[in-house]
């Protein structure tokens, strides 16, 4: 399917087109698992097609939400595109959305606002006026929960769509778990299910992804009759729509089809990929040569080292289910790999109870299939690709991820202050900010930083902080206007209530907050995180303040002043040298005291890593880009 980039302000979605006639061909589907083009004669109908269409066409009452959760590349995209095309346009408006997988954190405020923006752009020919009304509505109701605002605005949209039903397909729905929005979304479904309002019954969701249903559907949602879970199975043994292509290859296409199923087990991506190769590469003159020819083809295209041109994307999709995800599920992923190893090495199949550790995660990966109480490797291709060597390598990646995600114990139990550069230059635009003015660009990454800081938890339950103090700096005076941030959604309001001003004086406000911290810290450490787009106007006073602050500390771990640069005007050299402690600041005991940490917003990977960087080894913590761009500072 052709992917049309939606120009939404947050860039969290991929909007998969209003016109669904511009779709990619078979070859791209085979290499990347994209949806088959509409009306493709090779599309294989399964029970899920019938169940989903019936679900969406129900009227008394209309259904609310359908979950289609399956292992990677089971044909979910093709299913939703095909189903949307079969719904009469005079009765249904279909919107297909894929949640971006490279957005690590997202607030409920941004999720629901952008969901409404997409709907507005889809249903209104000239959507600018409608989008302006949405923005005004959103700002006028800051005291209302984002999911409730979505429900209220749907009432206005119902006057535009008339009697039509609005069906929203959302793919990669597992991102709600990563963003910790699954509870909010399920509360929305519960509320919509109980609503007597007709306009709210015009809205139906189809939610597709690779999540474990137990993680995505709380018990309350399972009891709603208008919410359903549809299973997506492998291809059946009888697929008449694929036989015509095989007739060109063999006089006995049914035998050839059975041989394809032997190798793939009916897994949709593998089956279509191998079918495509067979129709292009093979010519079976004699059935006695069939097995040999098929084995040679599979070996050359799937199994031999360096000959997996079709499989890397598919392999990575499965691998990601083990190496990515919340650290809370790491143990479950390791159990799943251990269970898979036993099945792979000890017997063709293994009896496993529902309570076996790792069972559900392993089934979700698609590496095994279930026959009654038995689990067996899904197909011979998987058996050879996802072998013992792959298991060991993947285990190491999972374990490393656990280590990488465990912050130093020193990072916890601290007071955290945010200081935002409010100078006039924050209205400038940069290539690195996507052409947005800096003041408009900064809230989104900052919201992610706040989320990570408020939610990072140690193994024994400690947090960095429960509340963050936020303020701006600009004029040459103390800014006593502060906000107390307990939820990332407050960041957007903070930026609305404050606007860029004039100069860039940091010291008065920073000195004021440092004095407060020293007076009230009660043995707690501190993080002062400064976001700035250039050189501060009181540079010399800043250096003196850092020096005097260090002399009040018992050691350099007590306090860290983290400076994050944004925009193209900033000259990193000054801050890098402070990060290196080239001025040799000393603490109260006369020992070296390195409390400055510097990085660029578009270079840093994770705020927790940045806060943690100098707590264990300050000298080894310099960012790689700084060493590459300014080697003269590291000689």
pLDDT tens for 620-629 read 567 778 877 7
Phi/psi for 421 (5° steps) reads -65, 120
Closest by CA position to 113, among listed 197, 10, 3, 4? 10
Contact partners, residue 394, CB within 8 Å, separation at least 6: 319, 322, 323, 337
Q: What is the pLDDT of residues 556-574, one digit of tens each?
A: 999 999 999 998 888 899 9
**Using 50, 70 and 90 to split pLDDT, how confident is the model at 125?**
confident
Helix (H, G, I), strand (E, B) or coil at 226: coil
Average the pLDDT over 334-353 and give the result. Answer: 83
E strands, 210-333, where?
Answer: 227-229
Structure tokens at 265: 């087990």
3-state helix, strand, coil in the chain (%, to 5): 50, 15, 40
Lowest-confidence region among 154-158, 294-298, 351-355, 443-447: 351-355
Query: How many Cα neighbours within 13 Å face the side chain of 215?
Result: 22
What are the residue ranges of CATH 3.40.50.410 in the chain? 409-634
Q: Which DSSP category does 457 fall into?
A: B
Highest mean pLDDT among 39-43, 56-60, 123-127, 493-497 belongs to 493-497
Give the pLDDT score at 402. 63
- Of the spans 334-348, 451-465, 532-546, which averages the highest pLDDT? 532-546
Q: Which of 61, 165, 58, 185 is nearest to 119 (CA)?
A: 165
Instruction: Check residues 294 and 102 and name the one with the higher pLDDT.
Output: 294
Predicted pLDDT of residue 103: 62
Does residue 30 surpass a pLDDT of 60? no
> Does residue 437 or residue 142 have the better pLDDT?
437
Q: Is the pLDDT of residue 306 over 80?
A: no
How would DSSP label each residue in 417-471?
A: EEEEE-SGGGG-B-TTTTTSBHHHHTHHHHHHHHHHHHH-B-TTS-BS-S-EEEE
pLDDT (mean) for 127-151: 89
| Distance (Å, whole) CA 596 – CA 98 | 40
Pairing of strands 92-99, 596-600: unpaired
Beta-strand pair 65-69/203-209: parallel
Whole-prediction pTM value?
0.60
Supply 309's token pair: 């041109």
Residue pLDDT, tens place only, 269-286: 999 999 999 999 888 888
* pLDDT of 329 strictly over 60: yes
**Is the pLDDT score of 217 beyond 50?**
yes
pLDDT of 309: 57
Order of all β-strands in the sheet with 349-351: 349-351, 374-377, 368-371
**Dist. CA 495–CA 491, nearest whole Å:** 6
Residue ranges, comma separated, of all CATH 1.10.10 domains in the chain are 312-405
pLDDT at site 207: 92
In this structure, the number of other CB atoms found within 10 A of the CB of residue 307 comes to: 12
Confidence of residue 403 (pLDDT cuts 50, 70, 90): low
For 1, the token pair is 């399917």
Burial of 10 (0-12, 13-18, 19+ CB in 10 A): middle
Tokens matching residue 418: 């945010």
Band (328; pLDDT cuts 50, 70, 90): low
Residue 87 has pLDDT above 70, yes or no: yes
Q: What is the CATH number of domain 409-634?
A: 3.40.50.410
Q: How many residues are given for the chain? A: 635
Q: Which two tokens stand for residue 188?
A: 């929305």
Mean pLDDT of 124-152: 88
* 186 contacts 227 by C-beta, under 8 angstroms: no
CA atoms within 13 A on the CB side of 206: 30
Q: Tell me what pLDDT residue 401 has.
A: 67
pLDDT value of position 378: 93
Does residue 505 carry a pLDDT above 70? yes
Q: In terms of C-beta distances under 8 Å and separation of at least 24 residues, what long-range contacts does 582-588 make, across chains too?
A: 583/543, 583/547, 585/546, 585/547, 585/550, 586/550, 586/551, 587/550, 587/551, 587/553, 587/554, 587/555, 587/556, 588/551, 588/552, 588/553, 588/554
What's the CA gap between 616 and 403, in Å, rounded?
14
Q: Which residues contact 51 (CB under 8 A, 6 or more apart)?
A: 228, 230
For residue 221, pLDDT beyond 90: no
Whether domain 312-405 has CATH 1.10.10 = yes
- Does residue 208 surpass a pLDDT of 70? yes
Percent of the chain with pLDDT over 90: 43
Q: Could you give the CA distance from residue 374 to residue 485 in angstroms, rounded to a whole number?
A: 51
Distance set, CA 285 to CA 247, 254, 339 (Å) = 12, 15, 43
Write out the two tokens for 481: 């206007």
Residue 14 has pLDDT above 60, yes or no: no
CATH number of 13-229: 3.40.50.300
What is residue 104's predicted lDDT score, i.e. its pLDDT?
65
pLDDT at 406 over 90: no
Q: List all residues 6 or more positions away from 512 whose beta carbon is below 8 Å from its beta carbon.
A: 478, 480
pLDDT higher than 80, residue 246:
yes
Give the helix/strand (H/E) hosting 600.
strand 596-600
């Amino acid at each position: 399917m052709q992917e049309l980039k939606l120009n939404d302000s947050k860039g969290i979605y991929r909007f998969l087109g209003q016109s669904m006639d511009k779709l990619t061909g078979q070859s791209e589907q085979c290499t990347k698992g994209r949806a088959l083009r509409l009306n493709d004669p090779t599309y294989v109908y399964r029970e899920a097609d019938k169940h989903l269409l019936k679900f969406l066409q129900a009227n008394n009452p209309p259904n609310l939400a359908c979950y289609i959760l399956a292992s990677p590349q089971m044909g979910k995209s093709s299913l939703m595109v095909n189903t949307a095309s079969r719904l009469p346009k005079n009765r249904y408006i279909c919107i297909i959305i894929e949640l971006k997988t490279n957005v690590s954190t997202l607030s409920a405020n941004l999720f629901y606002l952008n969901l409404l923006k997409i709907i507005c752009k889809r249903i209104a020919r000239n959507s600018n006026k409608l989008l302006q009304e949405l923005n005004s509505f959103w700002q006028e109701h800051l005291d209302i929960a984002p999911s409730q605002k979505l429900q209220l605005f749907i009432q206005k949209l119902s006057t535009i769509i008339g009697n039509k039903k609005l069906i929203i397909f959302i793919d990669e729905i597992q991102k709600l778990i990563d963003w910790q929005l699954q509870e909010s979304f399920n509360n929305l479904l519960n509320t919509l299910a109980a609503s007597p309002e007709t306009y709210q019954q015009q809205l139906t969701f189809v939610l597709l992804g690779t999540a474990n249903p137990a993680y995505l559907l709380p018990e309350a949602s399972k009891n709603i009759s208008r919410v359903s879970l549809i299973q997506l199975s492998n291809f059946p043994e009888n697929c008449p729509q694929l036989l015509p292509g095989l007739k060109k290859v063999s006089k006995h296409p049914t035998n050839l089809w059975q041989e394809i199923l032997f190798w793939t087990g009916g897994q949709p991506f593998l089956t279509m990929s191998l079918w495509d190769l067979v129709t292009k590469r093979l010519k079976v003159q004699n059935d006695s040569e069939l097995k040999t020819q098929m084995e040679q083809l599979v070996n050359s295209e799937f199994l031999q080292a360096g000959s997996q041109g079709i499989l890397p994307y598919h392999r990575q999709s499965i691998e990601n289910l083990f190496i990515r995800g919340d650290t809370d599920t790491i143990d479950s992923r390791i159990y799943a790999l251990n269970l898979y190893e036993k099945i792979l090495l000890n017997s063709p199949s293994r009896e496993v109870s529902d309570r076996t550790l790792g069972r559900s995660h392993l089934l979700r990966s698609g590496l095994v299939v279930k026959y009654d109480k038995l689990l067996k490797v899904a197909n011979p291709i998987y058996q050879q690709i996802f072998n013992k060597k792959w298991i060991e390598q993947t285990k190491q990646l999972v374990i490393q991820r656990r280590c990488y995600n465990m912050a130093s114990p020193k990072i916890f139990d601290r007071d955290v202050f945010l200081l935002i550069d409010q100078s006039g230059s924050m209205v400038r635009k940069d290539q690195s900010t996507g052409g947005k003015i800096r003041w408009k660009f900064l809230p989104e990454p900052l919201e992610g930083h706040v989320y990570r800081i408020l939610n990072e938890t140690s193994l024994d339950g400690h947090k960095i902080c429960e509340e963050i103090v936020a303020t701006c700096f600009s004029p040459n005076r103390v800014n006593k206007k502060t906000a107390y941030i307990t939820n990332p959604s407050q960041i957007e309001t903070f930026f609305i209530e404050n606007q860029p001003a004039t100069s860039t004086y940091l010291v008065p406000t920073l000195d004021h907050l440092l004095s407060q911290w020293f007076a009230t810290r009660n043995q707690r450490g501190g993080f002062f995180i400064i976001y700035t787009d250039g050189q501060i106007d009181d540079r010399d006073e800043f250096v003196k303040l850092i020096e005097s602050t260090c002399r009040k500390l018992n050691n350099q771990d007590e306090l860290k002043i983290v400076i994050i640069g944004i925009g193209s005007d900033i000259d990193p050299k000054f801050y890098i040298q402070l990060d290196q402690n080239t001025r040799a600041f000393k603490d109260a005991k006369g020992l070296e005291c390195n409390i400055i940490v510097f990085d660029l917003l578009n270079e840093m990977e994770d705020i927790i890593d940045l806060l943690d960087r100098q707590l264990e080894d300050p000298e080894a913590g310099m960012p790689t880009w700084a060493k590459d761009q300014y080697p003269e500072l590291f000689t």
